[in-house]
Amino acid sequence: MGDEGVRRELWDGKIPVCFKLDEDEVTMSIRGDRVAPQPCYMMIPRVSYLPLVYEKLDKLYSRAAGRQVEDEVWVSAEATPLKWHYPVGVLYDLYGRGQNLPWEITVHFRNFPEDILLHCESKEAVEAHFKSKLKERVCYQQLLFKYNYDEFWAVNKKMMLSTRSEHEPFRSIPFCIYQACCTDGKILFQRLLPPHRPKASPDDQIVENTLEDIIKLYSASFPLTEEHCVLIHGIELSVRTPIQWLSENLSYPDSFLHICVVHK
């Protein structure tokens, strides 16, 4: 499979999800017995964000939960609140990997975890977050609402794709690293790394930075063991993979490499 095929496969990647209303929040009853609404099944793109389905979840479950005006939708997986501003693929790799599919996510309207989650009252909050991370803001609409690979990459390739015959390699490559067991999945490490190591003299050979160099930077602050593995888009890659190639082909549409450290 060529690089174009890799990018398209990642774009088309989806996670089967089963949404269920928190049983403790069910207020709808028939003859005095509480009646929970049916689960909602969806296929959600890995490159998407959960709030883009909140409107549908609100319509499905707000009546059964007796939602009040001040209530806000939020979701959790096995009692862990899911940060809406992380891509769905990152959340799954951190909290759903190894579980039976579909991935079960619980829907809530009450007891918003203020100390863990940012508020997200509308799709506009997602747009604002996404636009703030993009170099070319025109890209966000294709990602968030149309999921059209060809339209998105027609714009994105001007910014992302680089060949030695046409362009210089990227000046620096942005990446974020997450680890589920540390600080509740918080971004532990966010850096820029050039694709090549500095040359001591003009005659020196170019040495590419690889995934191993990213791991070394991270492990200096957060030691790793043989029990850990590193995933991008749920894939465990060779540590010798050049980060220039990773950035061109495995970055999320916000232009970042989102890297998850998980137990094997």
Write a three-state SS string for 200-215: CCCCCCCCECEHHHHH
Digitized pLDDT (tens) for each residue of the chain, 264 residues in all: 788 888 899 999 999 999 999 998 888 665 555 677 899 999 999 998 899 899 899 999 988 888 876 788 999 999 999 999 899 999 999 999 888 999 999 999 999 999 888 888 766 666 676 666 654 444 555 555 667 788 777 777 766 655 444 556 788 899 999 987 654 555 678 888 988 877 666 666 777 899 999 999 998 888 888 888 999 999 999 999 999 999 989 999 888 999 999 888
Q: Tell me, what's the pLDDT at 172?
A: 86
Domain ranges of the chain: 14-121, 162-263
CA atoms within 13 A on the CB side of 183: 8
Q: Tell me, what's the pLDDT at 165?
A: 46
Residue 127: burial class (beta carbons within 10 Å; 0-12, 13-18, 19+): middle
CATH topology of domain 162-263: Ubiquitin-like (UB roll) (3.10.20)
**pTM score:** 0.86
Question: CB of 17 within 8 A of CB of 39?
Answer: no
Q: Tell me, what's the pLDDT at 199?
A: 64
For domain 14-121, the CATH architecture is: Roll (3.10)
Burial code (b: 16+ CB inside 10 Å, e: under 16) for 43-68 equals ebbbbbbbbbbbeebbebbbebbebe
Q: Tell me, what's the pLDDT at 77?
A: 94
Fold: same for 14-121 and 162-263: yes
